[in-house]
Amino acid sequence: MAIGLAWAPSVVGADSAPAASRAEVLKGLTACRAIGDSAARLDCYDKAAAALDQAQASGEVVVIDRAQARAARRQAFGFNLSALSILDRTAPKDEVNTLNSTATGAYRNGDGKWVIILDDGAHWRQIDDADLSRAPRAGSVIRIRHGSLGSFVMNIDGQPYIHVHRDE
């Protein structure tokens, strides 16, 4: 099931009533439904489908499924990327409000704060002064969730939460 489409220049004729956020090639495809004559409607669909296929092949239109959208939202967890709002139609924003992961590494930066590297390559930096009773290590179980006022908190191996910020 196709769910995400990006902008593409108009390749197929008539506009129709679909939402303004749709790509022009998709508008052209859906406009074919309004054609009364069966042969003309089929011809319109054939041309519009070819235009959509060509736009996807050239990268002018990107089509992703729900699983790909969820994976993109998970990978971007912790970043403020309003451009990903196109993915909101596939899953509510609050669907991704926690992240469970595993650390592949951890070290202290020059300020003595922990930097935790997750299995997806994301780097999370401690931003508070809380002490951990056990140092994080490769294999540590990580849980990150939204905190108050747009912040994030991280639980490492069941210890009390620390405030963190995603760097990479």
Render pLDDT for 50-88 as a digit per residue (tens, 0 to 9): 988 898 888 888 777 778 777 777 777 776 555 555 555
Instruction: Classify residue 86 as left (phi > 0), alpha (psi -120 to 50) or beta.
Output: alpha
Q: Is the dihedral of CA 28, 33, 36, 42 positive or negative?
A: positive
The answer to whether position 29 is within a domain reads no
Q: What percent of the chain has a predicted confidence (pLDDT) above 70?
A: 74
Number of domains comprising the chain: 1
The answer to whether position 103 is within a domain reads yes
Here the tokens at position 113 are 């704060």
Range of the domain at 132: 97-166
Q: Do you know the residue count of the chain?
A: 168
The answer to whether position 160 is within a domain reads yes
The answer to whether position 92 is within a domain reads no
The answer to whether position 154 is within a domain reads yes
The answer to whether position 65 is within a domain reads no
Here the tokens at position 78 are 């912790």
Q: What pLDDT, on a 0 to 100 scale, did the predictor assign at position 88?
A: 55
The answer to whether position 53 is within a domain reads no
Note whether 143 and 155 are within 8 A (CB): yes
The answer to whether position 107 is within a domain reads yes
